[in-house]
Each structure stands twice: as structure tokens, then as C-alpha cells.
Amino acid sequence: MAAPAIPLDERSVKRAFSRFATGVAFVTTEVDGTPLGLIVSSFAGVSLDPPLISFCPARDSFTWRRMREAGSFAVNLLGAQHESFAQRASAPGADRFAQPDVLREALAVIECDLEAEHAAGDHTIVVGRVRSTRVAADGSPLVYFAASFGAFEPHDQEIPCPRS
């Protein structure tokens, strides 16, 4: 049973949003020879035909404003072993490329062309058209829940995914 409703303010909305567990991705590109990247927990698969993904950087993100110039990007889905990297890389101004192994150890890499951007409140919905994918043979995902990073342990049996 859900708790009683509380007054709607930024803090209560943020707290409610934090109750949804998400994966963590490192979105990367290069502009004028400079590698750029940002950590997102708003990644989602959007469509299989055509293959589209989305993520939502803050509208005031200086990094995303520079990244969009490239017209393409890679979404690196992070594993549980990347927790300390994600904590450090989430901070504004962090050196997000100090650990190059992170990109080689991603659970999956999804290469995309920038398809569209849509303003949505204080964020931007970025839609990417998938060009290629690389998927690791195994690994546990890094999960973000209630403002904390953690790991996910799957059940032993495969459970069918619900269709929307």
C-alpha cells in the first residue's frame, strides 16, 4: 500500500522519482579531438523499428551542449564494477576519462546518431538512432535507486518480459 500523498514540491517529486530503480549509462562522444561524456540514469530503449534510444540530460548541461555538436554518441551501459567510477564521474567538472577501462568493460555499447531533441521541463529528451551495438557475454548491471548506486542479482530462472 502506498503512503499518503504529501504536498507537491521539488523535494517530494525527486524522492518519488528515486523510488524507481534504473540502470546507469555513460554517454560519450568526441568533439574537435576532445572526449566528452556524462553519466545518466534516464536511458531507455524507445523503438525496435527503427531502433531508437533516449536519455535526458539537464537543459543547463554544458557538457551536453558541447556533445550535441558531434551529431553522434555512444551509450556505454555500466556494470556493478563501475560504481566508484559513476560516483566520481557524476560530479560536475569531473575527469570522466581518467579510467579508460570503463569503456572497454561496459555491459553493452550502443552507437547512435542524434535523431531528435525535445525540451521537457528542466531536461532535454535526446533521441538517438542506433547504428551498431556490442554486448558483453555476461556481467551485472549498475543500478541507481533512492539516490544510491548498487547491484542487481537476477533470479535463477528466466522470467518473460512484459510487453507494453
pLDDT in 10s for each residue of the chain, 164 residues: 666 666 788 888 888 888 888 899 999 999 999 999 999 999 999 999 999 999 999 999 999 999 999 999 999 999 999 999 999 898 888 889 887 777 888 999 999 999 999 999 999 999 999 999 999 998 899 999 888 888 887 766 666 666 66
Looking at the DSSP bridge assignments, the partners of residue 123 are 58, 120
Structural domains in the chain plus CATH codes: 22-144 (2.30.110.10)
pTM for the full predicted model: 0.86
* 88, HSE (Cβ side, Cα atoms, 13 Å): 11
Q: Rounded distance, CA 102 to CA 78, Å?
A: 8
C-alpha cell at position 154: 537476477
Task: Give residue 28's Cα distance to chain centre.
Answer: 11
Burial class (CB in 10 A: 0-12, 13-18, 19+), 88: middle
